[in-house]
Amino acid sequence: MLLLAIILAPLLCLLILSLTDYEIGAMQIRWLGLGNFEKALSDPVFRRAMGNTLLYVALVLPGGVILGLLVALLVHGRTRSRAFYEVAYFLPVTATLIAMAAVWQFLLHPKLGPVNGLLKAAGFPEMAFISEPSLLIPTLAVIGLWNLIGFNMILFLAGLTAIPRDLYDAAEIDGAGGPIDRFLTVTWPQLAPTTMFVAVTTSITAFKVFDTVAVLTRGRDGSEVLLYAIYLEGFQYFKIGYSAALTVIFLAFMLAFSVFQAFQLDRRVHY
């Protein structure tokens, strides 16, 4: 009953709304069938939002996994200062991203921001990170990585701690004495299940990007992402039926992507 009440019933309501033209305040509701889905496929805003989201995921997913692993390896090798670095790298995870987006807005300001100040001091031209259309999604991806790396680091640290020391001793006896050899023969294979979990959770988090877009760009200059497009349709234009259809497409796509990703990675994982 609990599963029905909190998961299945809302999903059923969402699916029913996606087949109607319901708008907030409307006196009548018309049944459209698949009309909203057909409209979405020809909607240039939705297609642009889908492309931006895929680009964001393509930047954040490999970056989040690789950088999270790299930071975990660096922190894991420390003894006395390990706790400090764990806290330092994990702090962005605990920060409210909406509040930090305002901080990033100052940091990346083309005239007042320290980032452009450093670029200017180094002899590079000033860059409009949050107003230049070609830089918007990469800039948002960098902020997303900043917020995500600490969480992935904790997951990889848990995986590194679980690797038996005996495996490293055996690898050293077999001739894998260098750090790169030990990583390739022991660490990386043993971290395969953790890597699969990190990749799936990172992709889901990347697909759900919303906060930084809402604060920094508000969808201007073609920077819409899927969740922000859904928010605009439902809570700005009050087209609940069309917003529900976009949500169904978003959930179906994210589910299919996650299942495909998990299936492909699981074939390469040895437990």
Is residue 18 assigned to a domain? no
* pLDDT score at 67: 94
CATH code of the domain containing 196 = 1.10.3720.10
Q: Is residue 166 part of a domain?
A: yes
pLDDT value, residue 266? 67
Integer CA distances (angstroms), 83 to 13, 80, 144, 155, in order = 47, 7, 24, 15
pLDDT of residue 248: 92
Number of structural domains the chain divides into = 1
Closest-CA residue to 35 (of 61, 53, 9, 17)? 17
Instruction: Please state the rounded mean pLDDT for residues 233-237.
Output: 86
Query: Would residue 173 count as lying in a domain?
Result: yes
Containing H/E element for 147?
A: helix 133-161
- Whether 31 is in a domain gets the answer no
Kindly tell me if the per-residue pLDDT of 44 is higher than 80.
Answer: yes
Both structure tokens of 248? 């169904």
Residue 85 domain boundaries: 44-266
Q: Is residue 120 part of a domain?
A: yes
Q: C-alpha angle 118/139/117, rounded to 5°?
A: 15
Other CB atoms within 10 Å distance of the CB of residue 238: 14
Q: How far apart are CA 237 and CA 64, in angstroms?
A: 34
DSSP label at residue 20: B
Q: How confident is the model at residue 1 (pLDDT cuts 50, 70, 90)?
A: low
Residue with more model confidence, 160 or 133: 160
Amino acid residing at 148: L
Q: Looking at this protein, which amino acid is placed at residue 41?
A: L
Judge whether 10 lies within some domain.
no
pLDDT tens for each residue of 79-100: 788 888 888 888 888 877 777 8
Q: What phi and psi, each to the nearest 5 degrees, are found at residue 20?
A: -125, 175
86 to each of 22, 37, 80, 146, how far by Cα in Å?
49, 45, 12, 14
Q: Tell me the pLDDT tens digit for each residue of 3-36.
A: 667 777 888 888 888 888 888 777 788 888 888 8
CA end-to-end span of the chain: 35
Which letter does DSSP use for residue 219 in this model?
T
Q: Length of the chain, please?
A: 271
Nearest CA-CA partner of 201 in 141, 155, 250:
155
- Is-contact 155 149, C-beta < 8 A? no
- In angstroms, the CA 209 to CA 205 distance is 7
Is the pLDDT confidence value at 196 over 70? yes
Residue 80 lies in a domain: yes
